[in-house]
A and B are shown apart, each in its own frame.
Chain A
């Protein structure tokens, strides 16, 4: 202790001065850092374990208690201040870097290459599903049957005697299978009625959508293949009033509440009384939709039901023209051409 300059007060002042210098230097370096990495390095360098500032702690021991307290506070303050500067600088630089990164990731979302777009259900399938849903909502089940049918299912059971002129209306396509004239492409979905009635016990509340066939030359309004949906309700006390009510309820459910329906007398071998049903659009115009009637007692008998015990109605109509008209398709052939530019419009 011979050095005059080493009085306790002087030593403390020196340290404080050095702390100040180091702090200033550290702040300058923090401010000069241009990347988060540089800030991290400056932080280690200036206030890290091996930093000059930290090294000054060892020299606090040479001071008296008063000096230790004073200088220790300064040293702590300086370290804190540098740490704060570091944090502040890091935040600024991180934000800048994030911004830069996001800018670098910029995508023009209008220049994306097309992926695989969704496929489309066929117009007719959509219509069939919609119709099924409406009838399911009314408590019906959906029944199906084969497209190649026996003459008995397509005609005989449905009260078309052999050689009956009513058969002429159906332009039947027969297939070469078993006896000549025994097997045909079903001309309507009505044979499914027969299958339902012969296959399960009554009552029946079912609709039968499906593909049907006629010997018809394809043109804008006819196809040799088209689709129908048919309904069958047979129970103990189903009346003609139930038929009219069901047709009307369906009309409103499928077409809209502002559509109405009417029945006109008609003829089908498998129903009696028979009717055509028309629907009226809100603009007052009428559209002939399909045929219906009370299931003929002979049909019930042919299917093994006692017509004095079970009675009911059937109705049916074509789907393709309805679906086409709904979408403004004016040529039915388009439905079966399978041009992808057509299929993906619906």
Chain B
């Protein structure tokens, strides 16, 4: 919402430094997105008329424009914009001008053609952010006069404000003025147009039916006769232009002007084109169509509200956009002026469904003021009076369901308890009165009547917010609450941090792939393509939720490989999303889990296993094992499951499938670890109870077994641990040998067992006993033989 300081001053004597006023507007919740000081640096800019345009002989992005700068001569300008046509009035910065941004305009050659000045965009003139093309000026301005003079720009200030959904009042210049005047403590008043009405004539024949009183709370129509459609009053055209609306004709411009000024959208119909002599407001019939002003055919559903003519043919989408057929044109003389109040949610739904937003719908969907309508009709009549239009006495005024405005009880104690203030009922009243909230004291409390222009406001907390806003957020003190808790991370969160520290310490960097996949990404990574889809993806590449961290991390390695970064080790802790196993038992949400994924570029499965054991150690996991198994996405003979003590599926380890690597352009082995941290959280963790360190010398025994390749080393290890019992201080596989001396399909596994006892040095007999038990166990339980 743009407002001009001069326009605000039509309603209140607002004085002060423009920047300071802007800060007040921001503080009140109307954030200033842009502030332009108009009329500065515009000396030398004149109104010029475009005479002709032609292509530049040597450049595509520049054209040559002949303009008349007031002397009737054609002056050649080279220009990078193409939005003007001969006859348009445009601002010309003449040679010698210094622009608001300090740029000097000289006579210069552009690609070999002379440019005698510069045609300006709104931004170049300091009139807003628009830089899409040359700022086309309203018709009727005298050619050759200084631009600032022609536009009546006298050190004005243009504010572009961000208006929140809870501020329907601030969707008008008057509403912004009311709020600012209240803050500044200066009086505010709306205009009170005096209009000489002519006797009712045609209005009597206008019939209005409102078939949907739930969606249309009020519908009024008045008739203006004898209009001569032409160019607008330059003062009106100028304000519209500065606020970002293009002047069209004297009637349409006044319509827009009234909307901007008072916040009341309105629609002038050419009465001659309204068939059947009246209007009907009704829900659309499903499938019904109409061509809107923008030339697009719209198809409706039963929740859309239409304005139809007396023949029941749609002439407009209520509150959003009119139809082309009843549009005002140069031949219009009699005008049927509609002003209405529509239910905001209804407008919002239709506007969103049709993806059709207009200045009108933006106001209706926040909630307009149903009581401003009478004034707005008179203001319209006052402004079109110079064009000869006269307002007929009498009006059609049909009321549907308007929002009930019940008084709101505001408890003084509650208000202060929420805000941390010590305001008395009288303070509350004097903060609310200037913005139209009427108050009366009831005991300790205040009964508040919310003004008709605050559709958003209907509860105690809404009024508390208004009090806080006008008291000023900065006037409320500051206090730091004392938490009764001790701030700390949960065990899970601390575990996650330990894990991050470990991984970083092991030389692996944290990656952050997007959790979205393209269709087929899962399959390309060797995984089942059963990812949950996004219903409304912006791009197909981001339309599936990942079920595993594998695709994202492999992609990250592929990106690095393509940039000649190899041997990269990355990890991620992130969420994956899976369909619950059994649909019947499915909860309201997918099976979402937190996973750790590690990719080790240039390193093989063995090294991945080493990383896994480091992870297992820092996670303090006990009794977890590795079970060789061909797994999707992984190297079929170099992958394994990580299994918890009760068989829990903890994750996977191994190498990424060479086929997957090949399809991603990765030319090295890639080790892989994935751990389900939600499963880890539920596993028993090592309580780290102290096991006394023996002060007696330990003894080592080395045992090498010849074992078939199909027997996992972990089985041998398990047998050794069980057999060695409490004497075992440590067990280490120190050599794996295949080759001469060992049968094909078998290998030698050599273990070093370190034995000790807490209370004595082990005797040779004791050591021999453990040794014998170990050999018996491995040879007895497994297809293994001790090597000589």
Contacts and interface: CB of A to CB of B under 8 A. Distances in A.
Interface of A: 116-122, 124-125, 129, 132, 135-142, 144, 146-150, 163-166, 168, 173-178, 180-183, 185, 203, 205, 211, 215-217, 224-225, 233, 235, 237-242, 244-246, 248-249, 262-267, 272-276, 294, 296-297, 308, 311, 335-341, 343-344
Contact of B476 (A178, A244, A274, A336): A244
A240 B418 contact: yes
A180 B505 CA distance: 45
A174 B532 CA distance: 11
Given A139-B483, A139-B485, A338-B570, A166 B514 contact: no
B559 to A, nearest CB: 6
Contact of A266 (B164, B419, B481): B164
Nearest to B560: A340
A238 B420 CA distance: 8
Nearest to A144: B493
Interface in B506-539: 506-516, 532-539
A323 to B, nearest CB: 11
B156 interface: no
Contacts of B365: 165
B493 A142 contact: yes
A210 to B, nearest CB: 10
B504 A119 contact: yes
A8 B414 CA distance: 128
B509 A340 contact: yes
Contacts of A181: 535
B506 A119 contact: yes
Contact of B165 (A165, A173, A335): A165
A264 B420 contact: no
Interface in B308-330: none
A223 to B, nearest CB: 8
A140 B164 CA distance: 31
Which of A124, A129, A141 has the most chain B CB atoms inside 10 A of its CB?
A141
Given A239-B417, A272-B464, A297-B461, A120 B510 contact: yes
B590 A241 contact: no
B479 A141 contact: no
A237 B590 CA distance: 38
B26 A264 contact: yes
B473 interface: yes
Contacts of B366: 165
Nearest to A276: B31
A237 B559 CA distance: 53
Given A136-B488, A165-B348, A166-B165, A339 B560 contact: yes
Given A142-B493, A173-B535, A211-B575, 15 more contacts: A119-B504, A120-B509, A165-B366, A177-B590, A225-B514, A237-B417, A242-B481, A264-B27, A265-B27, A272-B464, A272-B465, A273-B419, A296-B461, A338-B512, A338-B556
A242 B500 contact: no
B349 interface: yes
Contacts of A233: 481, 483
A173 B493 CA distance: 28
Contacts of B469: 265, 273
Interface of B: 26-29, 31, 164-167, 344-345, 348-349, 352, 365-366, 414, 417-421, 459, 461-462, 464-465, 468-469, 473-474, 476-490, 493, 497, 500, 503-516, 532-539, 542, 545, 556, 559-560, 563, 565, 568-571, 574-575, 577, 586, 588-590, 592
7 contacts: A116-B507, A136-B487, A137-B487, A141-B489, A211-B574, A215-B538, A239-B419
A176 B533 CA distance: 5
B297 to A, nearest CB: 24
Which of A235, A340, A343 has the most chain B CB atoms closer than 10 A to its own CB? A340
A344 B509 contact: yes
A239 B352 contact: no
B702 to A, nearest CB: 30
A224 B507 contact: no
Contacts of B488: 136, 141
A217 B516 CA distance: 13
A138 B414 CA distance: 27
Contacts of A235: 481, 484
A163 B345 contact: yes
B588 A176 contact: no
A144 B366 CA distance: 34
A121 B500 contact: yes
B514 A224 contact: yes
A263 B473 contact: yes
Given A296-B461, A339-B565, A150 B418 contact: no
A141 B500 contact: no
- Which of A144, A149, A265 gathers the greatest number of chain B CB atoms within 10 Å? A265
A244 B589 contact: no
B420 A240 contact: yes
B505 A118 contact: yes
Nearest to A236: B417
Nearest to B468: A273
A177 B532 contact: yes
A310 to B, nearest CB: 12
A182 B586 CA distance: 14
Contact of A340 (B27, B565, B586, B589): B565
A174 B536 contact: yes
Nearest to B489: A142
Which 4 A-B pairs give the minimum distances between C-beta atoms? Answer: A139-B483, A241-B420, A265-B29, A239-B420
B481 A245 contact: yes
Contact of A119 (B480, B508, B577, B589): B508
Contacts of B575: 146-147, 211
Contacts of A132: 489, 493
Nearest to B577: A148
Given A165-B165, A240-B418, A140 B487 contact: yes
A139 B542 CA distance: 39
A243 to B, nearest CB: 9
Nearest to B505: A118
B730 to A, nearest CB: 25
Contact of B542 (A224, A242, A308): A224
Nearest to B566: A340
A267 B165 contact: yes
Contact of B536 (A168, A215, A238, A341): A215
Given A264-B27, A338-B513, A338-B570, A138 B483 contact: yes
Contacts of A343: 509-511, 570
A272 B461 contact: yes
Contacts of A166: 165
Nearest to B484: A203
B590 to A, nearest CB: 6
A273 B464 contact: yes
Nearest to A294: B418
A173 B534 contact: yes
A289 B577 CA distance: 31
Contacts of A125: 500, 510, 512
A200 B253 CA distance: 58
A141 B493 CA distance: 11
A169 B414 CA distance: 31
A344 B511 CA distance: 10
Nearest to B166: A267
Nearest to B349: A163
Given A264-B31, A272-B462, A338-B513, A238 B503 contact: no
A139 B418 contact: no
Contacts of B487: 135-141, 205
Given A336-B513, A338-B559, A216 B534 contact: no
Nearest to A267: B164
Nearest to B555: A338
A129 B493 CA distance: 10
A135 B481 CA distance: 12
Contacts of B537: 173, 215
Contacts of B505: 118-119
B510 A239 contact: no
A117 B509 CA distance: 10
